[in-house]
Structure 1
């Protein structure tokens, strides 16, 4: 039945395009299954809207499945519609360019025939994924980009992505990640939820607190908070941070987005856990120390040239039994810690580290000199 439906759609589009052509000035953006307003496709959408007249664009639409996202964007004057609406069908058959963040199935794929599709992805990998993950042989089709293009920020990025995706070399386009552009520029739009939580962080900074942002990646198996099951040890860690004027903010990966603070009510007042729908990038520019493990966010944070601590409490297990690594983890331009005690010492002695040169070298390796002008120019070719 699906084959028949696809055949009918193809016949319809073939006839339709005899009389009408796709409009290069119509652009569609979406991501995360339509459930979040986040990541590179979000910031591409915002950038194109900011430069709409300069670029000669007529329509830039965001596709969503979420009522709240639709209402907030619409109220702010942006063009947005539900993914499965008639408006969406219209924009699918008229738009010349589509930006998506992860998988093409966020779009009504049969209706994109003849358009240019660009996978923005969400960062340079540290851990193996896609075709490079030998432990994951299911859904291999997801990693075949077919006719889609892939945004990469450097030759180094190309070499990593070529291990993860099946992508034609001529379909690799280069530029700056849109989300990184806004690390050093004012963001034209924030959701109500983002503003609410950002105000908390801003107040803490105004009160003299240094912000630690903890962004761990997901594990295949269930993990414990900070790799420690001893409640007393965790409490002592947070009390020490509070005593030394640090404020701890965290957001856990969507795949493991069960609220952690529910299990630790005693520390709820001295740390902040962000809801899973929030995009983390508005918070990075207020971050003094980034703590992560195997997340690509550390590469993007290089634009801010601030301290990064890799807290890899399960390093051996992750390397041998989980995703493993696509690069040499030990060479990353970060402070490495493997126990909560080491993490504590590194935070309290953060001023003794000077990794500026290493961070600069890695920034150039990962992102080169590409700008958003390059991104737009190469996308619209």
Structure 2
């Protein structure tokens, strides 16, 4: 279990972080924090990505009176950001610790360890999170959280109660987040997710960390034929079999060749996916890649339980679902919504069914038809789960200013 994320942390690490957080919270009563110094971090400090990335870029571009600083435990991230003119520090360097101690606002995507948990006590804590939850998370995931040690559960409870603002994609998810984190629903603001702003306009800096050769290849593939993206979710249920046991990638490669199509495959950052080097139509993307700047180049999405399905609704393009272990996943992990009611596209549970579903979706998209009513289903879910204005980053800023001025 984690404080606010996917990768397990030791109980000692969690408790130490809480003690440090409490200590700096007390110190902040004496040494005032700077409300115009905002620090950002993501994915346990390992990457420049997700909602924190896009909000950081927005603040840098539109708020000269604010000092936005990116903190990372990955020195290459710091070097890259500095080379593009942004202020960034190694989290545990003297400058990084000093900035973390004085910042008035802290932005996170997974946990307080996205920056430095021990330095963030007393700052306004803004949890941007990393997706609309379809699968149950945190306290709502019975085997993932409630069976943990007393120390772990106490640290988790402490951490969640220090969230001052949690952003959500829409009002529809307020209840799920309040239940998962056991927090006051009023802490949750349906601002929409900053990462989705990239669908509406070009965002300077959004390509940082993405190899230009890869971006060019994706653009080239999109010009040659239908380009789909496969994003399977991260499975942590018992001894669940991985994607490679359920996808015959050689057969899939032949299927795509017959249709002049391509498939980008991106595994979760915490999973490894080895593919045959002879594949011509199936292209593996780096697991740490921020895929959002590339989504607009794709023609369709293949997934299972990933929250990206809700973001992809904003592009209004075909979706295919391959939940090969749906009954086990439903029993062991669980969903917040009836799975069949939030999957606006063909659903397959075996490989042959997957090929049929992809064929139907690609044909329907090429013909511009909606014989199965999937377009209207996407519209229904988009209205329910997405904020459709084009500046979600600004909505987050407004929510932060409101709390700072309260």
Same fold by TM-score greater than 0.5: yes
Structure 2 equivalent of residue 326 of structure 1: 336
Identify the residue that residue 292 of structure 2 maps to in structure 1. 281
Query: C-alpha displacement at 1:226, in angstroms?
Result: 5.0
For the structure 1 residues 151 and 62, does the alpha-carbon distance in structure 2 shift closer, same or farther, using more than 3 Å as the test? same
- Tell me, in whole angstroms, the C-alpha distance in 2 between the residues paired with 1:92 and 1:340: 49
Whole-Å separation in 2 of the counterparts to 1:60 and 1:118: 14
Instruction: State the partner residue of 1:228.
Output: 246
Q: Distance in 2 between matches of 1:67 and 1:45?
A: 18
Alignment of 1:236-315 (within 5 A): 236-256=251-271, 258-261=272-275, 264-267=276-279, 269-315=280-326
| TM-score normalized by the length of structure 1 | 0.89
- Identify if the C-alpha distance between structure 1 residues 165 and 66 changes in structure 2 by more than 3 Å, giving closer, same or farther: same
**Counterpart for residue 54 of structure 2:** 43
Change (3 A) 1:109 1:247: same
8 A contact 2:48–2:209 mirrored in 1: no
Q: Give deviations 1:186-219, integer Å, cap 9, x for gaps.
A: 131213544332211111122x221110000122
Instruction: Kindly state the Cα deviation for residue 107 of structure 1 after the two structures are TM-superposed.
Output: 2.8
Match of 2:395 among 370, 374, 377: 374
* Structure 1 counterpart of 2:354: 343
Cα 1:118–1:243 shift into 2, 3 Å: same
State how 1:353-372 maps to structure 2 within 5 Å: 353-369=372-388, 371-372=391-392
Q: Determine if the alignment matches structure 1 residue 186 to structure 2 residue 207.
A: no
Indicate how the Cα distance of structure 1 residues 162 and 205 shifts in structure 2: closer, same or farther if over 3 A, else same. Answer: same
Answer yes or no: is the 8 Å Cα contact 2:323–2:347 preserved in 1.
yes
Residue 220 of structure 2, aligned match among 174, 199, 203: 203
Aligned length: 365
Distance in 2 (CA, whole Å) between partners of 1:122 and 1:5 is: 25
SS across alignment from 1:123: coil
Structure 1 position 347, deviation (Å): 1.7
Q: What is the Cα-based RMSD across aligned positions, in Å?
A: 2.3
How far 1:13 moved relative to its partner?
A: 4.2
The equivalent of 1:146 in structure 2 is: 161
Structure 1: give runs of 5+ residues left out of the alignment.
Answer: none
Counterpart CA distance in 2 for 1:323 and 1:194 is 35
Deviations 1:40-75 (A, max 9, x none): 11111111112123xx32x11111111221111101
Corresponding residue number in structure 1 for 2:100: 92
- Long gaps (5+) in structure 2: 1-14, 365-370
TM-score norm. by structure 2 comes to: 0.84
